[in-house]
Amino acid sequence: MNEGVSIEEINQLPKIDLHCHLDGSLTRSMITELLGREVALSELQVADDNKNLAEYLEKFDLPLQCLQTRESLFRAAKDFMLSLVQDNIIYVEVRFAPLLSVRNGMSSYQVFEAVLEGMKEGSKLTGIEFGIIVCAMRHHSVEDSLRMAKDLRDFLHCGLCAFDIAGNEAAYPMSEFAGLFSGIRRMGYPFTAHAGECGNARNIVDSIELGARRIGHGIAASHNHDVISLCKSKHIGIEMCPTSNLQTKAVLSMDDYPIREFIDAGLMVTVNTDNRTVSGTNMSKEMKLLVDKCGISIDELVQIKNVAGTNFCDIFAQTNNEILFVTSAIDNLIKGASGAAIENANLMFGLNEDEALPKVAYAP
């Protein structure tokens, strides 16, 4: 393995986090401020003997209490961005479920607007670029989720970059959400989906068939040639979250972690945190874990080809298919990318020869 690579070396690497939940990543200090009382770490962070995903999700009850007013949503989002500086993050796609914050009469529009303003303020202070992914929750009705998506449609490409479905995958398989994602596609949302976290590879297949461009976790694809081949042929991004996957028992040990299998199979893999506070992690810890336990090299961690093709915010196309927007963080990364990286980006967004991002030769 690569135990010789220090955490200090990894800390210095610029990083991108594409699978990170806002509620699961609120800092302890911010939760203490918003609740007006001292909060023990054990109230926020999952225990070592956590049994499964359902038990893991219980840790979200307390942070969600902090996300029920415009002011608290703004402050939490801003503080989240500030917390990323020490992890050397240059771009983050943060996700949250607006419908979990409408308890006090706010609309999903007002909820999203407050988070967006907090993220913008944090971005100004840190220089970190961001996109926001809105989550439908599996236990909510399809009708409510579609109504939320319609209400937030004006924010798409204006801070809102994609749609997701999250929650208890074992209790609510993807087959129940064909109607939801049919509507989401009609509204023009790109989307990812939490799938394959609970051992069911069929959820991965169903997500891709419904139009998902990325898969959250995707562990159940391991040792499944057909599913891996499908992900590869469709250029599906796999959002891997090692610490979280261990805690939810998606894998029993790092010996079973399939990132090497996925990389060797040519899948578009990214490394992410999932829930920084609930899992007690950050990007540096995730990368160090993979270096030490999975034999992943530093060079593999900093490869751009997968990142450039799987983020949702790097390319927004107008109706005439001209490139409208490239975030500065991703643009800076692409300046050092190979032709293969640009090709992956074009494939990921389904751009044909006339629409494709040009393979520009950038000066060093």
β-bridge partners, 270: 239
Return the CA Rg of the chain: 19
3 state DSSP class of 218: coil
Cα separation, 272 vs 287, in Å, equals: 9
Q: How far apart are CA 311 and CA 329, in angstroms?
A: 11
Helix, strand, or coil here: 217?
Answer: strand
Distance CA 342, CA 339 (A): 5
Q: Which amino acid, 207?
A: S
123 contacts: CB under 8 Å, gap ≥ 6: 81, 129, 130
d(CA 204, CA 214): 10
Instruction: Based on the residue annotation, tell me whether 197 is a catalytic residue of this protein.
Output: yes
Rounded Cα distance between 310 and 138, Å, is 24
Helix axes 201-210, 178-186, angle to 10 degrees: 30
What stretches of the chain show up as alpha helix (H) in DSSP?
7-11, 28-35, 41-44, 53-57, 61-65, 70-83, 108-126, 142-151, 178-186, 201-210, 225-233, 242-247, 259-264, 283-294, 298-301, 305-310, 328-334, 339-348
3-state secondary structure of 206: helix
* Rounded-to-integer distance, Cα 312 and Cα 67, Å: 25
Cα–Cα distance list, 189 to 150, 152, 181 (Å): 10, 11, 9
| Tokens coding 283 | 């990007």
Catalytic residue among 113, 197, 239, 286: 197
Report whether 241 contacts 217 (CB < 8 A). Answer: yes
Report the catalytic residues.
197
